[in-house]
Structure 1
Amino acid sequence: MKALLRDLKPGTTVDIPDGTYTTSGCRTLQGLRGAEEKPIVLRAKNRGKVTIVGEAGFIFRDCEHLVLEGFVFENDADQQCVMLDNCKHVRVTRNVFQPKERAKPRHWEHWVTVDGARSGYNRIDRNRFERKVNRGSPLFVRGDDTALVCSQHDRVDYNHFRDVVYANRENGHETIRTGGNDLGASGQSSFTTIEHNLLERCSGEDELISIKSSDNVIRNNTLINCRGAICMRLGNRGVVSGNVIIATEEGPGFGGIKLFGFEHKVTDNYLSGLTGTKHEAPLSLIPGMHDTPTTENIGKKYDDMTATAPTRCTISNNTWVDCAALQFGYEKEDKKWPLSPNGCVFTNNHVIRTKPNPKPMVILGAVRDLQATGNVAYDVQPPPQDTAWSSWFTWEKDKPTVEEPKRLTEADVGPDAKEGS
C-alpha cells in the first residue's frame, strides 16, 4: 500500500486492491492537498474488500480536500482507526469500523477522532460503527483543548451506530461526542451538525450523544432502544430537532433529551416508549452549578460536576407517547447542583399516555420563571385538576391519533446507503 500512497496530487484517485493489510503502527499521511473540485481520493477498489488489521489505522495530518472510502477497520482499538489532525474538507465515507478491543484496555479507546485547532469542514458520513465495549467513543469531534479551539463546521450524517454495550454507569462510554470539558465550559463554538444517523442499542452510559461545545445542530436522527439521552452537557445555543427516539424493548434507562446551558431549542421531536428517570428521563431539565453561560473553572480547576442550569431554553412542538415522567428540576435540593432551571419555555407540545402508568406525567421540582402554554395532553388516568402542572395542558377527552414519523432504517444509512443529499 505504501507505494500507492506516494506523489498524491489534486484529482488523484487511488484504488487499493482487495486484501488484508497489516499495520505496524499508524500510517501517517501529511500535507496532502487536493482541491474542491479535484479531491485526492483513497478508496477500496471494491468497497468492504480492503481490511486494515494490525496495530493502528490512518492519521491524516494537515490535509485538505481528501476522501477516504470503503475500508474495513479491524485494527487494535488501542490506537485510532482514523484521526483527522488539523484537517479541513476531509471526508471519511462508507467505511466499516469494528476494531479489536482489548480485554484490559490501557486507556480510553476512541475510534474516529477530529483533532486540532485548524480542523474544520470535515464530513463523517455513511459509515458503520459496530459494537463497542471499552471506554471511549466510536466518534469524537474535538479540536484543541489546550488552545481552547473547537474543530468547526464538521458534519456527521447518514452513519449507522449499533451496539454500544451498557457499561453499568461507568463514565466515558458516549457514542458520539463533540467538544470537551474545557471547550464546553468556556463556551467555545463548534457548529457541528449531527443529522440523519441511525443509532441502535447504543447504551454505553446516560450521555448517549454528549455535546460539550456551543452552536451545534442535532436533527433528524433515529434512536432505537438506546439507554441514555441526547445531552447538551456543556455549551449554549444548541438545536435538537426532528429526531425520532423510540424504545420498543422492556428495561430501564431509555432516555430522551437532557439540557444544561443557555438558549437551546428543542423542537419537533417524537419520543415513544421511553422509560428513563432523572438524567435519563424523556425530557430532563436538570439543575446546575452555575447560572452563567461560561465558567472560568477550566483546566486544573475543572470539576466533573460543572454544569450550567438550563436557562432560557425553548421546548416546543414535541410529542411524547407512553413515556415515563418528564423531569423539570429536582424535587429535593441537590447540594452539588443547587441552581434550578431558569426562564425556560415549554409550549405547543403533546404528551400522550394510552396505557395506565402509576407515575405522574410530569415531575415538577424547583424551577424559576417557567412558561408553559399551549400544550395538549391525554392520559387514560388523568391527574387531579389541582396538580401543580396540570394547568400547563389542555386535556383531551378522547384518545388522539398520533402518527409515528418515518424512522431511518439500515437501507437509509451506512456504507450501502444511497447517496441522497
Structure 2
Amino acid sequence: MKTKATHLFFPLLILLFLVSGGAFAGEKPVLVRTLEEYHQALKSLQPGDTLMLANGIWKDAELVFKGKGTQEAPIVLIAETPGKVFLEGRSNLRIGGEYLVVKGLVFQNGWTPSSEVISFSIDSKTLAYNSRVTECVIDNFNNPDRNAQDSWVMMFGKNNRFDHNHIEGKRNVGVTMAVRLNSEESQDNRHQIDHNYFGPRPVLGSNGGETLRVGTSTYSLTNSNTVIENNFFDKCNGETEIISIKSGGNIIRGNVFFESKGSLTLRHGNGNVVERNVFLGNGKSETGGVRVINADQKIVGNYFQELRGEEFRAGIAVMNGVPNSSINRYHQVKNAQISHNTLVNVAKIELAVGSDAERTAVPVESSFADNLLYSADGVDLFKVYDQIDGISFQGNLANFKASAGGKGVVTQKIKMEKGSNGLLYPSDLSIQAGAPRDLKVLAISETGPTWYPKSSKEVVFGTGKSIPVAPGLNTLSEALNSAKAGDVILLDEGVFEQTKVLDITFPISFRSEKKVEISFVGTHLFELYDGGSLSLEGIEVTGEKSADAAGNAVIKINRSGTLHNYKLKVLNSRFSEMNVNHSFNFLEASPASFADTVEIRNSEFRQFTGSVLSLRKEIEDLGKYNAEYVILTGNQFEDVGGMVADVYRGGTDESTFGPYFIAENNAVKNSGKSSRNKESASFSLVGVQWLVFSKNNLAASAPVKVTELVGKPFTCFSENNYQDTPALIHAKKQNQK
C-alpha cells in the first residue's frame, strides 16, 4: 500500500512544490478590474503568467480560465488579496487546460448559472490536467429553489488538486463535490483532495445530499485512484452518505468526521482503502462510521467514538448484497479486510445489514481482525442480520461478551485513558488491538484558508433583545418591524388584533407570561418565508374573526418553499375556534419546505376543521418529506376534524434519516372524523423512520394509521389508552428499489 500511495501522490507533490515555491514568480501579475479586461488578458497568457482579479465584488461573473502552462511555469489566476475578491450573483468558474492554478476567490450571495460553481472542465473536450484550486471559498452559494439541482465542485481530467478550500452551507439538491469518471480522460485520474474544510450541510430531507462523491454507478467498476486525505467534515448532515465512493482504487486517509450524520459509504467499486480516519460523533443522532459493500475493501487503523447511528449508519456496517447484482444495486461484500480499528461507545457494529428478500448475498472471504471494541456500559455492540460464516474473526478484544465472532473476540476488562492525541487507548500498553497510538487527529485549523472563519452562522431563539408590546390593532406588526434575528417579542396582558399577516423572515419568538388573546382577520396569522423560524410561548390565538375562506391556517409556509430549514416551537399556548370554514389547519406546509424541528408541548388545540399539522406536500414518492423531527408532548387536541398530524414520506429511497415522530402524553378527543378527512384517521404517519407513540389517550376519535414503506423503521406503541376509538391500523410495505 505504501508503494501505491507514493505512486499516486508523486506527480501531485511535484505540482505542490512548483506552485508553492515558484509558480508566482516571473513577470508582474496582470491586474484586471472588469470582465472585459479579464477576457482580453486571458487571450495572451503564457506559461508563468499570473492573472490577478481586483479586490471587490464581481457580479454575474462567468469566468472561463483556459491556458496551457508547464510544470515549471503554471498559469495562475489569483485574487488581488485572498478573501477580498467576491464572486456574487450568477457566477461560476470553469477551468480547462494544463498546469493552471486558482487561488483566493470567494463565492457568496448568489448561485451558479450552470450545473457547477467550480468545474475542472470548460466543455466535454476541454478538461483540466495537472491543475489546482486552492484557498477558495464557496459559502451558502445556493439556488433559492431547494429542489433545483447543482453541484459546487466537479472534478474532471487527471492529476488535479483541490486543497485548503472552505465549502459550507449547501442547501439545495445535489452533491457538494464530485469526481467524475464519465470518459476515459477522467478515469484513473489520480486527483488529490486534501486539507479542505467541508463545513455544515443541513439535512436535505431527500436523496442528493452527499458532501463528496467519487464516481457514479455507471462507471463504478473503473478505478478513480483519487486520494482524499486530511479533510475536516464538520456536521455534514445532508443525507445518509457523507462520502459516497462509487469507483475503485481510492484512498480515504487521515480525515476527521465531526458530528456528521451518515457514513463514509463504499457504495460501488472495488479495492478502496479507508485508513487512519477519525470519526467523532459526540453522541449526536445518526452519526456513523463506514459502510462496506463490494470487493477488496480495506478499513484499517481508524478510530470511531460516540457514534449513535445504526443499520446503514452503524460504526461499521457490512452489508448483504444482491445475487448477480446489477451495477446500480448492491454487489456482494468479498475479501473485505477490517482490522486494527478502535470503536468506543458506538451504538452498533452491524453485519449482513440490509438483509431482505432481495439482498441475500452474505459477506464472504472477509476478515475482522485485531480491532478494539469498548462499551462503557458493557453492552454488546454487535448486531447480525444473516449468516456471517464468510467473515473470519481473529485477535479482536472487547470489554463485553460479544454475540459475534466466537473465540475471535476475546472478552476482558479494559481501562481506557486519553492519549496525547486526545483519543482513548487502553492503559495496558501491551494491548496491540485497535487503532495505532500515533494516529494524528487533524485540527480544524489545518484545513481551509487561514483567512476565512469557521464560525457557526445559525441564529437561535432568544439570543437577541426583548421587545415589549402593548395590546391593540397591529401592534404585533409594529414590534416585528423593529425586530432582528433572535429577538423576543414580549406581549403584555390584553387583546391583540391583526389585520396584517406577520411575515417571518428570521428566527423570532413571541412570548407572554400574562393573559393574552390574538385574533386575525385574514386567511392566516403567520407566514414563514425562507430563513424564518418561529417560537410561540404562553399565547392564545382565536380564529373567530378570520376570513370566511376554505383552507385557512394559523401558520403558513410561503409557497416558494424554504431553502433554509426552519424550526417551529410552541409551548404552553392555546389555539381555538378555527372553524369559520372547512380545512382550517394550524400549520400548513408547502412543497419544497422543510422543517428541522416542529415541537409542540403543553398546548391546546380546539375546534379545527382541518389538521393541526399538515405535512403532506411532497407527494411525488421520491423519498422527500416536510419535517425531520415532529415532537408532540403533553398537549390536548379536541374537535379536530382533520388529523392531529398528517406526516408523509413516500417512495422507497433509503438515503434519508427521517422523519422522526414522537407523541407522548397527549389527550385526543373527538378528532379525525371530518367527512373531508380522506384518511379517516386522527394521525396518518406514512414512511416515518422513527416512531414513538406512548402514553397517549384517544377518546371518541378516528384510528391512528401507520404505513411503513422502506427500510427497517423503528416503531414503538406503548401504554396508550383508546376509548371509543378503533384500534391502530398498521400496514407494512417493504419495497427497496
- TM-score category of the 2 structures, normalised to the smaller one: 0.7 to 0.9
Match among 381, 395, 398 for residue 377 of structure 1: 398
Distance 1:132 1:333 in 2: 33
* Contact 1:378 1:399 (8 Å CA) reproduced: no
Give ranges in structure 2 of 5+ residues lacking alignment.
1-33, 122-126, 424-438, 452-737
Match among 162, 183, 189 for residue 152 of structure 1: 189
Give runs of aligned pairs for residues 158-307 of structure 1, distance below 5 A: 158-168=195-205, 170-184=206-220, 187-248=221-282, 250-290=283-323, 297=326, 303=328, 306-307=329-330
Is 1:389 the counterpart of 2:405? The answer is yes
Query: Which residue matches 2:375?
Result: 353
Match among 60, 68, 81 for residue 46 of structure 1: 81
* Contact 1:81 1:99 (8 Å CA) reproduced: no
Query: Which residue matches 2:417?
Result: 401
Is 1:320 the counterpart of 2:343? The answer is yes
**Cα drift, residue 109 of structure 1:** 1.6
Residue identity matched to 1:110:
S
Distance 1:226 1:336 in 2: 29
Match among 165, 170, 181 for residue 127 of structure 1: 165
Cα distance change, pair 15–318 in 1 and its aligned pair in 2 (3 A): same
Q: Secondary structure of 2:294's partner?
A: coil
**Cα drift, residue 396 of structure 1:** 1.9
1:108-132 CA distance string (max 9 Å, x none): 22001013xxx10000000000111
Distance 1:148 1:166 in 2: 34
* Contact 2:382 2:404 (8 Å CA) reproduced: no
Cα distance change, pair 10–281 in 1 and its aligned pair in 2 (3 A): same
**Cα drift, residue 156 of structure 1:** 0.2
Match among 384, 402, 406 for residue 364 of structure 1: 384
How many pairs does the alignment contain?
388
Residue identity matched to 1:112:
V
Query: Which residue matches 1:339?
Result: 361
1:6-42 CA distance string (max 9 Å, x none): 2111000122211110125x32233x10000100011
Moved more, 217-226 or 365-374: 365-374
Residue identity matched to 1:18:
N
* Contact 2:320 2:355 (8 Å CA) reproduced: no
TM-score with structure 1 setting the length:
0.87
Cα distance change, pair 288–22 in 1 and its aligned pair in 2 (3 A): same
* Contact 1:66 1:91 (8 Å CA) reproduced: yes
Give ranges in structure 1 of 5+ residues lacking alignment.
none
Distance 1:288 1:135 in 2: 28
Q: Secondary structure of 2:291's partner?
A: strand
* Contact 2:149 2:174 (8 Å CA) reproduced: yes
**Cα drift, residue 142 of structure 1:** 0.8
Distance 2:153 2:323 in 1: 32
**Cα drift, residue 78 of structure 1:** 5.0
**Cα drift, residue 402 of structure 1:** 5.6
Distance 1:106 1:166 in 2: 13
Match among 27, 42, 47 for residue 63 of structure 2: 27
Q: Secondary structure of 1:329's partner?
A: strand
**Cα drift, residue 335 of structure 1:** 1.7
Cα distance change, pair 176–266 in 1 and its aligned pair in 2 (3 A): same
* Contact 2:194 2:231 (8 Å CA) reproduced: yes
Match among 69, 80, 90 for residue 55 of structure 1: 90
* Contact 1:149 1:188 (8 Å CA) reproduced: no
**Cα drift, residue 107 of structure 1:** 3.4
Distance 1:78 1:321 in 2: 45
Instruction: For CA contacts below 8 A with separation 6 or more, give which structure has more relative contact order.
Output: 1
Cα distance change, pair 78–202 in 1 and its aligned pair in 2 (3 A): farther
Q: Secondary structure of 2:407's partner?
A: helix
Cα distance change, pair 402–236 in 1 and its aligned pair in 2 (3 A): farther
Query: Which residue matches 1:109?
Result: 150
Moved more, 273-282 or 1-10: 1-10
**Cα drift, residue 354 of structure 1:** 1.7
1:220-257 CA distance string (max 9 Å, x none): 00110001111110000000000000011x44211000
Distance 2:377 2:80 in 1: 53
* Contact 2:317 2:351 (8 Å CA) reproduced: yes
Query: Which residue matches 1:84?
Result: 120
Residue identity matched to 1:111:
W
Q: Secondary structure of 2:68's partner?
A: coil
Q: Secondary structure of 1:20's partner?
A: strand
Q: Secondary structure of 1:87's partner?
A: strand
**Cα drift, residue 259 of structure 1:** 0.8
Distance 1:275 1:400 in 2: 20
Cα distance change, pair 388–198 in 1 and its aligned pair in 2 (3 A): closer
Cα distance change, pair 388–264 in 1 and its aligned pair in 2 (3 A): closer
* Contact 1:376 1:394 (8 Å CA) reproduced: yes
**Cα drift, residue 333 of structure 1:** 4.3
